[in-house]
Structure 1
């Protein structure tokens, strides 16, 4: 809903600050009391300095946090740009300014505030409440004492007092919120006539001279970045299964018997009972009396089996089942004592047993329902059993092959051949693997990785990172085993490094031809659209809709109905006092003529207003924080030293890193 706000560069800088700033709470210039200089200074902040060591620690922390958040998708190269390094250094400067201000103004927090803040940390809570046990466990896992942790938290809370109050006091005036709300909900009813460049491509002619001229003037657009041709071994479930021998008939039979419950349902009885208790400590007379009572009940239910539930409720001494009419549910073999089981499984459906003595007294059973053994015989289940046995053997084979692959790749660093022969794996090859992506097939000589069946695996950042490491690029060694997933592993090696180069004309003629066709078709579409727009604007009668326009649709900034942003902005730029009116928008895909037929002012929307006020307040608070930080920098004094520019532009060399 607020895309038009978020697209502003100013806002993106503020968001970047939010993402980066909290990440270095305990890194670099991280203590309220340990703010000291190093040997290689980058920035002078007041009386202290940000050192190269501080910057390196912040970089490591930034890398670890992103890697933990993104997992396998993390690509360290995204952090190796001057823009990211500059943002990181700026965040450290801001933190240094805050620390200097907090020290100078003697900001501190009370024990009560500290306790409240620590108890509110979710990681230290159990069921929403602070847990001392959890607190001690977390600190132990982090390897820090409670004193050090509490001191660091006290320091952080003190630092938050420098800018913290701004967020609580920042408030955008209601008139601004109301103006934006109306702008978001204002509506235009429009019709579109689209001049699609694709419709003009058939009429475009491109000759050899055009292609030659384009090639000479746009060679950098045809530059292919450095890439590698790689050999690799792939170990996955399919490879492991291929190495598994077919199980014998006896293995299949044994597996079936061991797992028979998975293929065969045993017989079972849906049972009810009446119990007259007489436990092991009952006397002979008590047992005799209990038996006699049970026999009387058995005679009664034999005459009136349909009254079994009522008699159970009345006479059974098993309180739990008596309330349910004596129901015990389904019973399978192995759940009752042998003599009870024998009596129960000899009953037919609806049949009542005689008196059966058990460990806890005398039972009278009713078989409500009976199910015989059912399921698949060995022959019927054989195909399923074989698949399961093969899968089990395959898992064992995979674990063994994975272990051997690690050893073989390490013991033979200059070749994949020993591992391939020992494990029966095919050495595969792929080309066009760049440091940051797989190159399209048209830019690659040989078997393009991007067009191969293993493209997803080879595009994994861990694979590209390994291929472009020094050991593989310079020394052509095997990588270690790269675990893409628990059942997919790769070992890669660089076969050839292809330097960055401009593609020869012969290789890119068709690419250039298509580019020229698209470019000229877009120009033709734009020309046709502009001509039509001029005609519409000059016509005397504008009420009638010209032929070629689509159906009317009502759009707003908060609900553009799929209309692209350029067309949306153009529609709202049209003055609303003389409608209908026409405007146009050009682009790479052609031209769009917009007919604006009516305009309506925005209407109040309570939910939108609340959300908008919250977001505006947050953005305003961020802007004020940046303004305060700029002034604090002047007060504290910030001086960028020569080494800082080197670190930002060139990064840390391998020796420093």
Structure 2
């Protein structure tokens, strides 16, 4: 191989290539060569500035990860990659427009500014101090390099400053706030009469002709969607755990291992906390000397401790186990004997003297009390190792298999069946969108392949294949008659309720029907606790009655109808010094500021020269 390389290096072709390189270097310089290999392709251009493909793809990856984290059960197959790419490109273009605007206004962060911001960010700190290792690790977890993160901060910070400045300029007229608050606090006096569906049910009768007519007019509603009958294998950690046999000896050995954890030790501590300042050593020496002279720890805690809450209790912190206190504090506490006082211990809170007041230990539950819990824990621990192994084997086996029977037999799993799965899904596990999408994919539905092994839940994986496909079909009238009758009955009941309400309404408006026996509400606000929502919405949408008059109206739901007689509208009180008024004014100003910023963004985008692929 090496000799071939040497021979080719002396060939005519090699000499020609070298000659071309020399000519390129002499005419255009090194950048002509290097740039040809390192120039990055762009996905869009904003006012002549490129948005690179690398930046675009990295942002797409980050956005995909963010959307996965927001899912209850993260599933890559549920992501709409095309939509994500469109959203990311739009966002990067908008960011470029805003960044260029910030630069044109002379807003830019120096490297020192960025350093200052980074070191002040809590997510990069340990015990209140900037930690470079945490910073680098956090940035890498975001899929970025340190330089990329700094550049992102440089862009986003100034853009956010402009956004905040514009948003804070939102102004709302005090009268508009007062008017809205008065409407919000408005109350009304009214009376309500109601009739229930059961009161008109006897008036409802649905004929066969009505059923047939509805069926003919709505045939498209009664088309049965395409369906598949599926075979599938479920691999579940829980089922694997149930199949694992745990011996009595293993259970007892596991209990012995865990007994120490069940026998929890808690220690009651008291402390004296002082500031870790220049005088700390002198102050602590004074406290220690006074303790040695016989003064009470509790009295000194009350005098010196800056932890004012515990100081009132003589420094008492109560009982706590491991994992509660700062590591240095905990180590010192659990090294003490009862009644012993520690040497000074420094933590992020200051400098402590710690006294151990009392130790208590809880007795562990008996073996019999923990038997079932121990068996479950031990079986799941063993099953976890087996699950990962079997999952890999199953994924490999079904990839090339012509059916599911072979892989199932090989791995001791069961092939199950599910009928009537539509593109909308079916019973579990076909209530998982990713699995259903694969089941109806071209390869599985028409080419006869198995689906991939899909994780449909925590430690539950499923692979499926199509057993039978059924085309969409028109359902017969006899199949859907009961459904149609239900629809028609509901409509007829609603019509009957509305008609009955109209009769009552007419009687009220003509003065022939008294409202004395109706349910009365005085000074009722919008949060009426014992009123149906549809009634309350009707009450507060009715116009204000004339002086001495009334306004009437009706509201109808599927179960009830109501006639409303509105007697008075009481204007809401407005206290311009109240917190309610202040909060509403701030909220409305923020909305106005955001609207102005959105308009500003749109203006910049309209003025920009944007080239998309």
Same fold (TM over 0.5): yes
Cα gap change, 1:322 to 1:51, in 2 (>3 Å): closer
**Equivalent in the alignment of 1:357:** none
Deviation at 1:534, TM superposition (A): 2.1
> For residues 380-529 of structure 1, what are the structure 2 equivalents within 5 Å?
381=368, 385=371, 388-389=374-375, 392-393=378-379, 395-397=381-383, 399-400=385-386, 403-412=389-398, 413-435=401-423, 437-438=424-425, 449-450=426-427, 455=428, 457-529=429-501
**Equivalent in the alignment of 2:533:** 564
Cα gap change, 1:201 to 1:155, in 2 (>3 Å): same
1:582 and 1:594 in contact (8 A); partners too: yes
**Equivalent in the alignment of 2:554:** 584
1:169 and 2:169 are equivalent in the alignment? yes
1:98 and 2:98 are equivalent in the alignment? yes
| Partner Cα distance (1:578, 1:638) in 2 | 64
| Partner Cα distance (1:578, 1:500) in 2 | 63
**Equivalent in the alignment of 2:332:** none
SS of residue paired to 1:582: strand
Aligned length: 484
Deviation at 1:139, TM superposition (A): 3.1
1:602 and 2:567 are equivalent in the alignment? no
Unaligned runs of 5+ in 1: 1-34, 265-318, 333-370, 439-448, 644-657
**Equivalent in the alignment of 2:510:** 538
1:252 and 1:385 in contact (8 A); partners too: no
| Partner Cα distance (1:578, 1:596) in 2 | 11
- TM-score, normalization by structure 2: 0.65
Cα gap change, 1:150 to 1:423, in 2 (>3 Å): closer
**Equivalent in the alignment of 2:280:** none
| Partner Cα distance (2:123, 2:82) in 1 | 34
**Equivalent in the alignment of 2:587:** 615
Cα gap change, 1:553 to 1:433, in 2 (>3 Å): farther
SS of residue paired to 1:552: strand
**Equivalent in the alignment of 1:315:** none
Cα gap change, 1:240 to 1:528, in 2 (>3 Å): same
Cα gap change, 1:134 to 1:78, in 2 (>3 Å): closer
Q: Larger deviation: 235-244 or 416-425?
A: 235-244
Deviation at 1:136, TM superposition (A): 3.0
Deviation at 1:112, TM superposition (A): 5.7
Cα distance per residue 1:219-275 (max 9 Å; x no partner): 333344444332222233563356345x6xxx42564366369899xxxxxxxxxxx
| Partner Cα distance (1:159, 1:88) in 2 | 17
| Partner Cα distance (2:548, 2:508) in 1 | 14
**Equivalent in the alignment of 2:209:** 209
Cα gap change, 1:629 to 1:174, in 2 (>3 Å): same
Cα gap change, 1:479 to 1:67, in 2 (>3 Å): same
**Equivalent in the alignment of 1:355:** none
- TM-score, normalization by structure 1: 0.61
| Partner Cα distance (1:99, 1:207) in 2 | 69
> For residues 223-372 of structure 1, what are the structure 2 equivalents within 5 Å?
223-236=223-236, 239-240=239-240, 243-245=243-245, 251-253=247-249, 255-256=251-252, 259=255
1:72 and 2:84 are equivalent in the alignment? no
Cα gap change, 1:197 to 1:607, in 2 (>3 Å): farther
Q: Larger deviation: 213-222 or 132-141?
A: 132-141
1:188 and 2:220 are equivalent in the alignment? no
1:477 and 1:493 in contact (8 A); partners too: yes
**Equivalent in the alignment of 1:3:** none
1:567 and 1:594 in contact (8 A); partners too: no
Cα distance per residue 1:16-52 (max 9 Å; x no partner): xxxxxxxxxxxxxxxxxxx99847x7xx855568899
Cα distance per residue 1:52-72 (max 9 Å; x no partner): 999887665544322121141
Deviation at 1:560, TM superposition (A): 6.8
Deviation at 1:555, TM superposition (A): 3.9
Deviation at 1:624, TM superposition (A): 1.0
| Partner Cα distance (1:409, 1:514) in 2 | 47
Q: Larger deviation: 149-158 or 252-261?
A: 252-261
SS of residue paired to 2:540: helix
2:254 and 2:374 in contact (8 A); partners too: no
| Partner Cα distance (1:90, 1:257) in 2 | 60
2:528 and 2:536 in contact (8 A); partners too: no
**Equivalent in the alignment of 1:624:** 596
**Equivalent in the alignment of 2:32:** none
Cα gap change, 1:76 to 1:533, in 2 (>3 Å): farther
| Partner Cα distance (1:48, 1:103) in 2 | 13
| Partner Cα distance (2:52, 2:69) in 1 | 26
Deviation at 1:623, TM superposition (A): 1.2
RMSD: 4.6
Cα gap change, 1:192 to 1:80, in 2 (>3 Å): farther
| Partner Cα distance (2:360, 2:122) in 1 | 46
| Partner Cα distance (1:123, 1:566) in 2 | 50
Cα distance per residue 1:122-176 (max 9 Å; x no partner): 4223345544443233234446443332222112223335544211211222222
Cα distance per residue 1:62-84 (max 9 Å; x no partner): 443221211416687685899x9
Cα gap change, 1:86 to 1:534, in 2 (>3 Å): farther
SS of residue paired to 1:234: strand
1:74 and 1:461 in contact (8 A); partners too: no
